[in-house]
Structure 1
Amino acid sequence: MKPSLAATGLAALWLAACAQTPARDLPTLLARTSPTPLLLVGEQHDAPEHQQLQRELVQALATRGELAAVVMEMAEAGRDTRQLPRDASEDAVRQALAWDQGATWPWPVYGPVVMAAVRAGVPVLGGNLPRARMREAMADTALDRSVDASVLDRQRTAVREGHCDLLPDSQIAPMTRIQLARDRSLADTALQALAPGRTVLLIAGNGHVRTDIGVPLHLPAGQARRVVVARAGSAGADASGDVVWPTPALPERDHCAGLRERFKR
């Protein structure tokens, strides 16, 4: 006997609710995401608990012999630590990754995550679109057709809102193409690092790992993956994933203030 539509709908809702049930400790999180060839972990960049989670995941998966590589949004594609020994200095690691020394990706925040992988003998790979290719991406209209129209609309909305509604309309499409190109670059880097029986850990902002607009849409159909969304309080509640990792809310802050000043100048 076939299940009724109502029963099927209820089952789908139940599964979705289970997927979004928070995992509040590392063993539970690992049990709900392993084994998987690709583990995408999102973060809020200014939440220290999220980088702590990343470091603990690196250490746990490496200890189990299951970590193939760590792919990070914070370094450009083409940069990696493959040729470095486990005891490489932090300066050597930063040089290999051409780590951004600016305020965008402060080394004291992400360095412990990177070094945990290096010390475990696990390669760290930059996954972000290189800056040298951004202008090319902005003009590449083929990127508009790399996702469904509804996805493109959602991505454009995310870009508009992410820039505090300050971007001129003429810049929405080019900036959305950069976002799409970044997601594609992260996906390609992760796919190239896949290894049988082990996990590639991809670390990026929650916007990049979203199952409705992010990296998952740039993976081959049927590619197994799990997505963890790290959420500080209610921030990023629109980010979709398989499992939520909740952390305390951060102090309220006007993230648009600095952007408004830049646009004034």
Structure 2
Amino acid sequence: MRFTLIAALLLVAGCAATPSMPPLVGPDGAPLDLMLLGEQHDASEHQDLHRQVVQELARRGRLAAVVLEMAERGRSTAGLPRTATEAQVRQVLGWEESGWPWEPYRPAVMAAVEAGVPVLGGNLPRPHLRAAMADAQLDAILPGPALKAQQQAVRQGHCDLLPEHQVGPMTRVQIARDRAMARTLEEAATSGQTVVLLAGGRHVDDQLGVPLHLRAGLRVQSTHWPAQPPKKDYCAEFEAQMKSRRSGQAPPP
């Protein structure tokens, strides 16, 4: 059973809609098995809501685990005490190797650790990326229209600058990542409690992402926060990186 809360990407007079806390139970008042929170990665408003959701579920004694796109599947804080330091948490989650900034996710991660709740990596491990890119069987995982939509999302996510021959392999990686997160969520699911996923918005899309790979019967709620103004021109930055790679020069700082 899936409940989707889609906060439309509304911009009124150049101002983004204000995100708000989603309900922490299903429409019938019963606990959710999974809460999928789809963020815009550079929106601090979204990460503050991550913290609020984690803290409130922990306060109610209903937080089973927090699963992160930002850490690889197999990584876990389960062996750490509530008093673990940030350095210890970062080490067991492999944060330095992940390339993700720590500060935006620190409040939610540390809130879970301090509550005695495990934080789990959910993303596809890097050693598996090349195999996923070459695995043509992944093309058959999604229905045809969903596969085409996912491919288009990959194009748009790379500012329509990705060479067309790379779209297929990159789409397979996206599908493999969604499947890895889905498996991690299913393994962490606990009756009467809620597992929270923190991931990019496309990963929690009911038509394209993680929800498609979950087993039937789970009570799942996907939340898409309202879009916030981007902090910089990412497409200009990506285009500069592509040009630098083609020319063999180092990208600009």
Deviation of 1:105 after TM superposition, in Å, equals 1.5
Determine helix, strand or coil for the equivalent of 1:109: coil
Q: Distance in 2 between matches of 1:199 and 1:52?
A: 19
- Report the RMSD for the aligned CA atoms in angstroms: 2.1
Q: Does 1:143 align with 2:155?
A: no
In the alignment, residue 86 of structure 1 is paired with which amino acid? R
In the alignment, residue 198 of structure 1 is paired with which amino acid? Q
Trace 1:1-265 onto structure 2 (pairs within 5 A).
Answer: 20=6, 25-26=20-21, 29-30=23-24, 35-100=31-96, 104-232=99-227, 249-250=228-229, 253-265=232-244
Q: Distance in 2 between matches of 1:197 and 1:252?
A: 39
Determine helix, strand or coil for the equivalent of 1:87: coil
Determine helix, strand or coil for the equivalent of 2:66: strand
Structure (1 or 2) with the greater helix fraction: 1
In the alignment, residue 90 of structure 1 is paired with which amino acid? E
Task: Evaluate the alpha carbon distance shift between residue 254 and residue 24 of structure 1 in structure 2; reply closer, same or farther with a 3 A threshold.
Answer: closer
Deviation of 1:181 after TM superposition, in Å, equals 0.3
Deviation of 1:167 after TM superposition, in Å, equals 1.0
Q: Distance in 2 between matches of 1:20 and 1:181?
A: 24
Q: Deviations over 1:118-170 (max 9, x none)?
A: 00000000000111100000000110011111110000000011101111111
Task: Evaluate the alpha carbon distance shift between residue 88 and residue 21 of structure 1 in structure 2; reply closer, same or farther with a 3 A threshold.
Answer: closer
Percent of residue pairs identical: 52
Q: Could you tell which deviates more after superposition, 121-130 or 106-115?
A: 106-115
Determine helix, strand or coil for the equivalent of 1:167: coil
Residue ranges of structure 2 left out of the alignment (5+ in a row): 9-17, 245-253
Q: TM-score, normalised by structure 2?
A: 0.86
Task: Evaluate the alpha carbon distance shift between residue 46 and residue 74 of structure 1 in structure 2; reply closer, same or farther with a 3 A threshold.
Answer: same
Determine helix, strand or coil for the equivalent of 2:67: strand
Deviation of 1:21 after TM superposition, in Å, equals 6.6
Q: Distance in 2 between matches of 1:149 and 1:189?
A: 25
Deviation of 1:41 after TM superposition, in Å, equals 0.5
Q: Deviations over 1:196-246 (max 9, x none)?
A: 1100001100010001100000011333201111122xxxxxxxxxxxxxx
Q: TM-score, normalised by structure 1?
A: 0.82
- Structure 1 runs, 4 residues or longer, greater than 4 Å off: 18-25, 31-34
Q: Deviations over 1:27-46 (max 9, x none)?
A: x6335576210110110000
Q: Which has the higher contact order (CA 8 A, sep 6+)?
A: 2
Q: Distance in 1 between matches of 2:73 and 2:113?
A: 17
Deviation of 1:19 after TM superposition, in Å, equals 5.0
Deviation of 1:25 after TM superposition, in Å, equals 4.5
Residue ranges of structure 1 left out of the alignment (5+ in a row): 1-15, 233-248
Q: Distance in 2 between matches of 1:153 and 1:220?
A: 23
Q: Deviations over 1:34-87 (max 9, x none)?
A: 621011011000000100000010000001000000000000000000000000
How many residues are aligned here? 231
